[in-house]
Amino acid sequence: MNPEGQDAILHITVNLIFLVIVWWSLQSFRFDVFLRNPEGPKAKLLMVLVTIALSHLVSSFFIAYLEGSLTLRYIF
C-alpha cells in the first residue's frame, strides 16, 4: 500500500471517529434553550451541521498534530 493510500485511510478513519465522538458529546447540550422548535427538521439539521463543523475542526487539529509530531524526527 502506498503512503498516499495510508494517509487517506487515516484521514477517513480519524474523521469518522471524531464525528461519532462529537455527536455523542453534543447529545448532552441543550439546544432546546436556543431554538423555538427543538424537535423540528431545522433543529435536527442544525445539530448535524454543528456536529460536522466541530468534528472537522477537531480532526484537522488532531491530524496536523500527528503530522507535526511525526516530522519532529527530522530535527536531529
Q: What is the value of pTM for the model shown?
A: 0.82
- Is residue 32's pLDDT more than 90? no
At residue 53, the pLDDT reads 97
Stronger pLDDT, 46 or 31, i.e. the higher one: 46
Answer whether residue 1 shows pLDDT above 80: no
Task: Map grid coordinates 519532529 to a residue.
Answer: 72
Asked if residue 4 has pLDDT above 90, the reply is: no
Mean pLDDT of the chain: 91
